[in-house]
Structure 1
């Protein structure tokens, strides 16, 4: 009797599993065919939204269910033993300091409310779209902090500011609901690259600690095979199969237009420089497959002469790799680092103007912007 009961139990469990599997398969298939996005009917009670309500989904954990870091702690590179050299980090550097935020920690928190010098800044990372942005936290002359609303628009994080409870869209780069609707955040330039490259560029850096005050498995990626699979957890408005959905690209935003640059646009074993035009503006794009970064700046003139850039001299660029933060030199002898600062030369202290360039997965861009081109494929 006990043996038969065990067989029946196993059979029932297997049938239930198969039923759930088939139901999930049917749901996913239907979603692909009909794209039934229900949205959140309670959103209308929050007032006007500048984005379609039927494209806003509840991500699951709820408001502040993913806890932002309000008092992030930093350690030295030597103390960051949790980080392997090939792990991705997001960082900012100025003449005063350099700070890095690893994906391993930001996957679990998405927002770090921090300070760059005397400037209050929020570093916002969406693990579902792979996009990182830096926003100044001073709004209407008041310093605020940002939290994770728990809502998503086209699979992308919707932060909210705690002073006004207004909701913001990371990839539309504006407030989409609440008292500050239509306001655009002041951006802070960030660089996404490998931990090894960041340490090479900025050896005096600090890096976000895993001592966050929260019990999280920071060595574990919380989304399974998501980073490499073609599948999405949440549907988006428009899909574009020109590239693998999760290919990391550097996208320059200009109004409703985006131009994407791939790592394959650069040599396999050396860094490269691309001179291009984006919506009538000349830009220089620098990238390296081996050192895992792409950055871009607008054309600059000094003494009424357009700067012409080349890779730096042998002591700063050896065997296809940069050996310091310097990634460009010009005809006047200025050396420029990855954040566009002239660190040596006659114009030391000057800065190139960064584009509105964001690293991220390929798939979200056509859902947010009207026209999206890929460099080299027009």
Structure 2
């Protein structure tokens, strides 16, 4: 999900085909073409410009509704509701990690299976991929990326993952889960308690909010194709 604007003007984007198994959009205002995974204009007057990602949360309905009880839900168009079970099954199959990369992939990185689901982070000019299967096991990860201390938290009950710069009031922090579901965290430096959404709820740092980072959920073949040299979190499962 990204902001459809560049150089101070709003853009309307339409599908313009596929390059390297990845969708390409064309804006109606300038005719520039944009690659979905890189969010970069690859041709036209805006070539080289980048669209900005919106912060977003990939979670289930129960967790979203708990956080935002007054949220509105988009009503499906007639006939679409009947397709929801089919779409859900497609999503489940996609998360299984099975299958091969589609034809046309420009670069192949065989360190992981092509359809391994990863959550990618780009921080300080460095990229790192966190396989979803590993996040479900480790739940709280303290990592250095691009010279920055990074916290990644996965709540297994809702399959919700969040990420932050692990620094508050000038102090670098290291976190551990306060419970098995990682719905509460403790930092080792001040023993303050935190939500998995980066808010300190008790202790010396109460009221502090960590700077959030945007995780990008992708298949491995798509992430690695457009993030050359990406690191993989160290305990990632090897390709079989």
* Fold match (TM-score > 0.5): yes
Aligned to 1:104: none
Give me the whole-angstrom Cα distance separating, in 2, the residues matched to 1:148 and 1:222: 24
Matched with 1:161 is 27
1:320 aligned to which of 155, 158, 181: 181
Check whether the contact 2:151–2:164 (CA below 8 A) recurs between aligned residues: yes
Match of 2:44 among 168, 175, 178: 178
- 2:226 corresponds in structure 1 to 368
Distance in 1 (CA, whole Å) between partners of 2:195 and 2:81 is: 39
Change (3 A) 1:279 1:357: same
SS in 2 for 1:250: strand
**CA offset at residue 181 of structure 1?**
1.2
Provide closer, same or farther for how the CA distance between residues 337 and 222 of structure 1 changes in structure 2, counting only shifts above 3 A.
closer
* 1:225-269 deviations in Å (ceiling 9; x for gaps): 97254134432122233333222111112477431112333464x
Contact 2:39/2:52, CA 8 A, preserved across alignment = no
Deviation at 1:214, TM superposition (A): 8.6
Q: How does 1:326-365 map to 2 (within 5 A)?
A: 327-328=184-185, 330=187, 331=190, 333=192, 335-338=194-197, 340=198, 342=199, 344=201, 348=207, 351-365=209-223
Which residue number corresponds to residue 148 of structure 2?
Answer: 281
In structure 1, list runs of 5 or more residues that go unmatched: 1-133
Query: Structure 1, residues 110-162: CA drift from partner, whole Å, max 9, x if none?
Result: xxxxxxxxxxxxxxxxxxxxxxxx3223433333333222x122222222333
Structure 1 length-normalised TM: 0.51
Distance 1:285 1:208 in 2: 30
- Shift of residue 285, structure 1, vs aligned partner: 1.0
Q: Distance in 1 between matches of 2:19 and 2:42?
A: 10
Cα 1:155/1:311, change in 2 over 3 Å: same
Contact 1:264 1:289 in 2 (8 A): no
Does the Cα contact within 8 Å between 2:40 and 2:50 map onto a contact in 1?
yes
CA shift, 1:357, in A, is 2.5
Kept in 2: contact 1:210–1:218 (CA 8 A): no
**How much has 1:188 moved relative to structure 2?**
1.4
Q: Measure how far apart 1:274 and its partner are.
A: 1.0
**Contact 2:3/2:52 (<8 A) preserved:** yes
Aligned residues: 228
TM-score normalised to structure 2 length: 0.76
